[in-house]
Amino acid sequence: MAAKARVPDRTLGRLLLVSLLAAFSVATGAANANGVAVGVFAFQGERAAISDWSPVIEHLNRELPGHGFQLRNYDADGLREAIAAQKVDLVITNPGYYVTLETQFGLSRIATLQSPHAARSGQALGSVVLARAERAELVNVRDLAGRSIAAVAPEAFGGYLIAAREMLREGIDPESAVRETHFLGLPMTRIVDAVKNREVDAGIVRACLPEQMAREGLIRMEEFRVLSPRRVDGFDCALSSPLYPDWPIAVTRHFDPGLAKSVARVLLSMPEGQDRVSWSVPLDYQPVLDLYRDLRVGPYAYLRDITPEGLARRFWPWLLGLLAILAAWIVHTVRVEHLVHQRTRELNDSLAAREGAERRVRDNQERMEHLSRLSILGELSGRLAHEINQPLTSIDTYANSLLRRDAAGTLTPEALREACGEIASEAERASGVVRRIRHFARKRAAVREMVDVFRLVEDAQRMVAGMLVSCPEIVIAREAGLECRVLCDGLQIQQVLLNLIKNAIDAARGLSDDRQGIRVRLTRADNRLVVQVVDRGAGLDAAERERLFEPFFTTKPDGLGLGLPICRSIIEAHGGRLWAEANEDGVGMCFSFQLPCHESSA
Ligand code: ADP
C-alpha cells in the first residue's frame, strides 16, 4: 500500500520488470542452487508487487552479483508458511505484519523503506479519517461513536488499525462504540468513494491517499473534512494519527550474517529520489507493537482471552470440571455438616438420657441409703424413748430433791452445786444421743473428706450403747500406732459400721452370755485400712453365706435383706471391698471391709 504511493506510474515498469525478473533469476548466478529468496507481502496482488519491488531486486543483483536474489510474492498466510519452511531468506512486509512475524519467527529488520513523503523522523505511515465537508458535527474521531464508518480490513494497518487506536485513545472502543464498520477491501479508493457518496459517515484510509487521488483528479480535497487533524513536521499530507515507521526489509534467522551486512549496505546505498524506492537505517517498530498491544490484535490477540469471557471460552472443559468438583465438594461438606449435627444431637440426647438415668440411680441409691439408715435407727431405737428417759428421770429426781431440801431449809450450797452438775451432765448425755441420731438420719448427697475411721467406730459404739437397753460389750482393738484417716464419706462408713454391729447383735440374740460381745478390729494391709466386726453369734452355713449379699436375703421375720447389699455398694464406691467369713473356730461370723489409704491419708 505504501509502495503503491511511491511508484505512481507503474505501467511501463510492470512491462519491463516482469521480463527483467525472469532474467534476474537465471542470469545473476545464485550463491546456491536456489539463490536468495526475497519474500514479499503482495497485498495488492502479484503484478503490483513485481512492479513495486523489482527495482530493489535489480539493485541487489547488480551490487551483489553471484547470489541470485529472486522475488517471491505471497499473501499473508503464504508468507508465514514460507518463513516457517525456510523457503525465504529476506522478507519485505508492512510494519504490522512485520512485528507479528518478528515475534513468531525472530526476523530482524536490516533497513526501513524511505518514503519521499516521510516526516523528519523518517516515519511515514499514518491514517486519515475523512468525512464529508458539510458534516460539521464530526470533528474528533470520538464523534464516530454511534456512526457508520468504512475501512479496508480489520487487519489493515494504515487502512484501519492506526485510526482504531486513535479512537481508543480518545475513549471510544472502535469495535463496539461505532454503529457499523464496513470493510470494503482494496483498492483503498473505495473507502473515499463511500464517504463521498454518503454511504457511510466517515472513512479510514492511509495518509496521503486523498492527496494522491486529488492529484489524479478523482476527488477534490475541499469536499472532505479531516477528523482529529494533526500536523507532523516535514509531513505534507492530511493526518488523523501519529506516524509509524514504513515497511521494513528483514532477514530470517537462518540467513548468513555476513551476507545480511552486505545486503544492508547495498540497500542503504540505493539512490534516493522522488518516486524511487530507497532505504534508511532500520527504525524503531516498538510503537507498532504498542499499537497491537493496545488493540489486542496480532501478537497480542491472546490478551482478548484474558477477559472472563475469553478465559471461559478457552478453558470451559476445565472450568466445568472445576465447577463439578466444587459442587461435589459443597454437597459433600453440607452433607457432612448435616450428619455431624445429627450425630451430635443424637449423642447429646443419649448423653442427656444417660445422665438422667445416672441421676435417677444416684437419687434412688441415696434414698435407699437414707431409708436403710432410718431402718437401722428404727431397729436400734426400740428403746430409744426409754434410753432418753433415763437422763430425764435423773434430772427430775435431782430437781425435786433440790426443791424438797429448799422447802425443808436444808439446802446447802455444796448440795446445790452437786445436783446442778449432775443435772447438766444428764442433760448433755440425752442431747448427745439425740444429736448423733439426727446427724445419722439426715438426708444428703455423698461427699469425700479425710475422716478418722477410728472415731467413727467409737461413735457407732456410743450410738448403739446409747440406744439399746442391754447392749452387749463392744471392744475396739486398734493396731498399735495405726493412722486411720482415709478419704471417704464418714456418714456412709458409719452406716456400714452400724449395720454390721446391729447384725452381729442380732446374730447373738437369745444366746448364752459367753456368746455375747463384739470385737471391732482396725488393722492395715497393703496400704489399705481393714476394719473387721467379729461376733460369736449363730453364724451361717456355707449356702447362706453364698447368698449373704443378695438383695432381699434375710433370715429375720421383720428383716428387709437390703442392709448388706447397700453396705457392699458403699464400700465398693470407695474403691474398697466388703466380705464375710465364718470365724476360724466355727463360732460366729467375721465381716471385713477395707478402704484404700490415699497419699495424704498415710
Ligand atoms: P436384714 O438385717 O434386714 O435381714 P441384712 O442385709 O443386713 O438385712 O442381712 C441379711 C441377712 O444376713 C440377715 O437376715 C442374716 O440372716 C444374715 N446376717 C447378717 N449378719 C450376720 C451375722 N453377723 N451373723 C449371722 N447372720 C448374719
Could you please report the per-residue DSSP string of 118-143? --TTS--B-EEEEEETT-TT--SGGG
Identify the pLDDT of residue 382.
Answer: 52
Rounded distance from Cα 495 to ligand 1 centre (Å): 15
Average pLDDT over residues 329-347: 94
Classify 427 in phi/psi space as left (phi over 0), alpha (psi -120 to 50) or beta. alpha
Alpha carbon dihedral 158, 164, 168, 170, in 10-degree steps, equals 80
Query: Does position 384 have pLDDT exceeding 70, yes or no?
Result: no
Map residue 590 onto helix, strand or coil.
strand
CB atoms within 10 A of CB 222: 8
Identify the pLDDT of residue 3.
Answer: 35
CATH architecture of 444-596: 2-Layer Sandwich (3.30)
Q: Whose CA is nearest to atom 3 of ligand 1?
A: 559
Identify the pLDDT of residue 469.
Answer: 65
Cα 410 to Cα 289: distance, rounded to the nearest angstrom? 142
Query: Does position 481 have pLDDT exceeding 50, yes or no?
Result: yes
Ligand 1 pocket, 183 CB below 6 A? Answer: no
Identify the pLDDT of residue 218.
Answer: 93
Fold agreement between 12-118+246-295 and 127-242: yes
Average pLDDT over residues 483-507: 91
Ligand 1 pocket, 539 CB below 6 A? Answer: yes
Identify the pLDDT of residue 597.
Answer: 86
Ligand 1 pocket, 25 CB below 6 A? Answer: no
Identify the pLDDT of residue 45.
Answer: 81
How far is C-alpha 263 from the geometric centre of its chain's CA atoms?
A: 63
CB atoms within 10 A of CB 142: 16
Rounded distance from Cα 346 to ligand 1 centre (Å): 45
Ligand 1 pocket, 554 CB below 6 A? Answer: yes
Q: Which residue has the higher pLDDT, 9 or 532?
A: 532
Tally DSSP H helices, then E strands, for the chain. 17, 18
Atom of ligand 1 nearest to the CA of 560: 3
Atom of ligand 1 nearest to the CA of 561: 8
Q: Whose CA is nearest to atom 19 of ligand 1?
A: 503
Atom of ligand 1 nearest to the CA of 535: 23
Identify the pLDDT of residue 5.
Answer: 35
Q: Which residue has the higher pLDDT, 44 or 251?
A: 251
Domain 340-438 has CATH 1.10.287: yes
Ligand 1 pocket, 567 CB below 6 A? Answer: no
Ligand 1 pocket, 540 CB below 6 A? Answer: yes
Query: Where in the chain are the domains?
Result: 12-118+246-295, 127-242, 340-438, 444-596
Lowest mean pLDDT among 233-247, 357-371, 377-391: 377-391
Which residue of 369, 555, 558 sits with most ligand 1 atoms within 8 Å of its CB, as the best mutation to test the pocket? 555
Lowest mean pLDDT among 148-162, 240-254, 274-288, 521-535: 274-288
pLDDT in tens, 307-316: 777 777 778 8
Rounded distance from Cα 553 to ligand 1 centre (Å): 8
Identify the pLDDT of residue 39.
Answer: 95
pLDDT in tens, 70-104: 999 998 889 999 999 999 999 999 998 899 899 88
Query: Does position 26 have pLDDT exceeding 50, yes or no?
Result: no
Ligand 1 pocket, 564 CB below 6 A? Answer: yes
Ligand 1 pocket, 548 CB below 6 A? Answer: yes
Query: Does position 13 have pLDDT exceeding 70, yes or no?
Result: no
Identify the pLDDT of residue 487.
Answer: 92
Query: How far lies 357's CA from each of 347, 363, 365, 568, 571, in Å?
Result: 15, 10, 12, 21, 22
pLDDT > 70: percent of the chain = 89
Identify the pLDDT of residue 23.
Answer: 38
CATH superfamily of 127-242: Periplasmic binding protein-like II (3.40.190.10)
Q: Which residue has the higher pLDDT, 457 or 363?
A: 457
Rounded distance from Cα 554 to ligand 1 centre (Å): 6
Query: Does position 258 have pLDDT exceeding 70, yes or no?
Result: yes
Q: Could you please state the CATH topology (level 3) that the domain comprising 12-118+246-295 is classified under.
A: D-Maltodextrin-Binding Protein; domain 2 (3.40.190)
Lowest mean pLDDT among 43-47, 62-66, 210-214: 43-47
Ligand 1 pocket, 499 CB below 6 A? Answer: yes
Query: Does position 275 have pLDDT exceeding 90, yes or no?
Result: no
Most confident of 95-109, 290-304, 425-439: 95-109
Identify the pLDDT of residue 24.
Answer: 40
Among candidate residues 557, 553, 532, the one with its CA nearest the CA of residue 544: 553
Ligand 1 pocket, 556 CB below 6 A? Answer: yes
Which residue of 377, 564, 590 sits with most ligand 1 atoms within 8 Å of its CB, as the best mutation to test the pocket? 564
Atom of ligand 1 nearest to the CA of 503: 20
Ligand 1 pocket, 535 CB below 6 A? Answer: yes
Rounded distance from Cα 359 to ligand 1 centre (Å): 29
Identify the pLDDT of residue 465.
Answer: 79
pLDDT in tens, 550-598: 888 999 887 878 889 889 988 998 999 999 999 999 999 999 999 998 7
Ligand 1 pocket, 560 CB below 6 A? Answer: yes
Atom of ligand 1 nearest to the CA of 533: 23
Query: Does position 19 have pLDDT exceeding 50, yes or no?
Result: no
Query: Does position 7 have pLDDT exceeding 80, yes or no?
Result: no
Which residue of 377, 506, 518, 552 sits with most ligand 1 atoms within 8 Å of its CB, as the best mutation to test the pocket? 506
Ligand 1 pocket, 432 CB below 6 A? Answer: no
Identify the pLDDT of residue 62.
Answer: 92
pLDDT band for position 21 (cuts 50, 70, 90): very low
Lowest mean pLDDT among 115-119, 433-437, 470-474: 433-437
Q: Which set of grid coordinates corresponds to residue 403?
A: 426443791
Query: Does position 63 have pLDDT exceeding 60, yes or no?
Result: yes
Rounded distance from Cα 547 to ligand 1 centre (Å): 10
**Nearby residues of 276 by Cβ (< 8 Å), 6 or more positions away:** 6, 55, 116, 270
Ligand 1 pocket, 583 CB below 6 A? Answer: no
Query: Does position 27 have pLDDT exceeding 70, yes or no?
Result: no
